[in-house]
Structure 1
Amino acid sequence: MRSARRCAPPLRRRWQALPPTPSRSQSRSRAALPDVRRGPASQPRSSAVTIIGGRGRSIMDRRTNFQEAWGMTIKLHTKPLITLLKLQPQLETADERTLSLYLPVRAEGFDAAHYDLLLNHLAAEYKGRLDEKQAKVLQSELARLRTHLKLVRPAGGPGIAAFSNESLGLQSLIRLPESVPPRIEVGRPLLEPLELMLRRLPPSLVVVVDKREARIFASILGEVIPLQHVTGQSVRHSRAGGTSAPSNQRKAENRARANLKRVVEMIDKEVKNGEFDRILVSGPGEARAELIHELPKPLERLVAGHLSASLDTPPGKLMVDIREQVAVISRREEAG
């Protein structure tokens, strides 16, 4: 038996001696393919120049289209960023003529002269590193952003990200929950700083509800975006006695349950569309508890907490309340 074993060719040799088969040829072709997790090294990349202000440093960085750079792993690694791109779809389709801008927000309030000086300093450092075509993009898009900043007058947050591309009708300003160094770039939208922030501060679906009405918002970074407004049947609990009282009570409860089921349908739709990983619920305690009870198990597991915002608050103030309360929750989660 021992001699027989010694005479048998090693497994590796026997494998090599076999005629080629589809499975073997496939395995070898797979081994020759580049690893997509490292990015498509063989594909050409477009160059871009980035200036980070405040310290007088310049960084030459070669970047590709965001989806090309991450290839097949984009859904595995950047789900919060996908949520942002679904709420801001133009950022995904913007081209090389886009101006990206990151700025800290002045704590003392908006001052146009302050932002003019800051933008002039960033543009002066950056312009010398651009070709003629890029320099024209910088000049035209920066003028659009200056005008937009003066209209929006950013305040109430530590930082902002802005994107401008006149050819595509893109002009977006995103409030950030924390300060950022001044930064400017011409090219495809600079999304990496947002991605890093979103990994620590994931987006939330916020539901403000009572037994008749609900408002659904997306809370992402420092922004609160209205998504749905659901108005159901009127729910009135009769205080009158008599034999009809139990029947009236059941009718009111059935109407309230029907209203909440409609809200659940809207929540399910928005979670799937926006790929949200967590839900925050606000409203009177009873309505909040009944809504959570009506949620199917997969949605119930996404409920991460509750807020104290109320539908009695005017819509503008309601969004401010949500922004402030979500920021408190995010700081608490980071701290502990």
Structure 2
Amino acid sequence: MKYLVTGAAGFIGFYVAQRLCEQGHTVVGLDNLNDYYDVNLKHARLDILKQYSDEGESTKGTFEFVKIDLANREGIAELFSAQKFERVIHLAAQAGVRYSIENPLAYADSNLIGHLTILEGCRHNNIQHLVYASSSSVYGLNTKVPFSTGDSVDHPVSLYAATKKSNELMAHTYSHLYDIPTTGLRFFTVYGPWGRPDMAPMLFADAITAGRAIKVFNHGDMRRDFTYIDDIVEGIIRIQDVVPTKNTEWTVEHASAAKSSAPYSIYNIGNGNPVKLLDFIESMEDSLGVKAEKTLMPMQPGDVYQTYAEVEDLYKVTGHKATVAIDEGVANFVAWYKEFYKK
């Protein structure tokens, strides 16, 4: 099968592209290689994927990299027309809750215009299934836990979250108007080897190994549904085979907001077992063998106290639940971090 994977040089996209190639599929990986974080890390991920290219020696699937910006309307349209993809896994986006406060316009280009160009590509090229990245941040001011896809997500607390909710609404419109099967995945705090430098595990590891104090927001009184990358990828690979279909019996008044009369679905993809931030830091200290100096800080604008995924719906259709415990996941991350950065 032929796939487009957007954000292929990114954290999750890299793993998904590699997994599809290992399964023997043809993968075109798209990324604009922007400098939101260290581009060298993105290139290092792509270097691993080169083993599946014409230059590599893999006898499994094939990988082709295309450098292009999602907001390039003509370029994306031409790519779809030329490549004849069968399925699309759309993971590219301008990430980061906090950065959306500093540079909001970047989110309009990547997350709104970029999502629309992908939807248009799917519309005009008979794509079998579009799986795309949403985010747990859409739950915003929700305090009822665990977060369920049936909950209201009308009160985001960051522009990033608002763009991700917009992505879900846009996808539903295209599913309704053009019968495009779409599945949105609300990711919960993904971590692991090859992770993003702007996220807590890398920030903590950098500071602790350098002897700097780590910033601990809300004075450490926070909980996150940390989900290891292998569990995320397993969920993505399985759900892209679960293609939504129309349901003429569905109604707004009496059915789940995560479904529709259109071929449309939304799922949480997380661990379902939130961890206290201070416990996560302790696990990092144990793996690094160094005690962290902590600077206690107030809650940051746009942040939330806790994330907690209800994951039964995803389990029912894929048979997969997260299996990697926090101590194992952190240890794997630290081992990779020490090797990659020569610490």
Query: What TM-score results when the alignment is normalised by the length of structure 2?
Result: 0.26
Structure having the larger proportion of residues in strand: 1
Structure having the larger proportion of residues in helix: 1
Bigger radius of gyration: 1
**Higher RCO, 1 vs 2 (CA within 8 Å, ≥6 residues apart):** 2
Query: What TM-score results when the alignment is normalised by the length of structure 1?
Result: 0.26
